[in-house]
Amino acid sequence: MKNKTKHPNIAACIRDIPDFPKKGIVFKDITPLLANAAAFHDCIVALAAQLPKNTDFIVGMESRGFLFGAALAMHTGLGFIPIRKPGKLPHDVHTIEYELEYGVDQLEVHQDALADHHHVVIIDDLLATGGTASATLHLIRKLGATPIAALFVIELDFLQGRERLSDIPVYSLLHY
**What is residue 99's predicted lDDT score, i.e. its pLDDT?**
79
Tell me if 81 sits within 8 A of 114, measured CB to CB: yes
Q: pLDDT tens digit string along 74-83?
A: 999 999 999 9
**What is residue 101's predicted lDDT score, i.e. its pLDDT?**
62
Q: pLDDT tens digit string along 105-148?
A: 999 999 999 999 999 999 999 999 999 999 999 999 999 999 99
Q: Is 135 exposed, middle or buried (0-12, 13-18, 19+ CB in 10 A)?
A: buried
> What is the phi/psi pair of residue 169, to 5°?
-65, 140
Q: Is the peptide bond before 63 cis (omega within 30 degrees of 0)?
A: yes
Spatial distance between the Cα atoms of 14 and 101, rounded to a whole number of angstroms:
21
**What is residue 1's predicted lDDT score, i.e. its pLDDT?**
45
Q: pLDDT tens digit string along 37-92?
A: 999 999 999 999 999 999 999 999 999 999 999 999 999 999 999 999 999 999 99
Bridge partners for 28 per DSSP: 16
Please say whether the structural domain 51-175 has been given the CATH code 3.40.640.10: no
**What is residue 5's predicted lDDT score, i.e. its pLDDT?**
59
**Pick the catalytic residue: 97, 99, 101, 163?**
101
Hey, is 103 helix, strand or coil? strand
64 is known as an active-site residue: yes
**What is residue 83's predicted lDDT score, i.e. its pLDDT?**
98
Radius of gyration of the chain (CA): 15
**Pick the catalytic residue: 64, 84, 141, 164?**
64
Q: pLDDT tens digit string along 16-32?
A: 999 998 899 899 999 99
101 is known as an active-site residue: yes
* pLDDT above 60 (res 4): no
Spatial distance between the Cα atoms of 43 and 153, rounded to a whole number of angstroms:
8
Output the pTM of the full model. Answer: 0.93
**What is residue 136's predicted lDDT score, i.e. its pLDDT?**
97
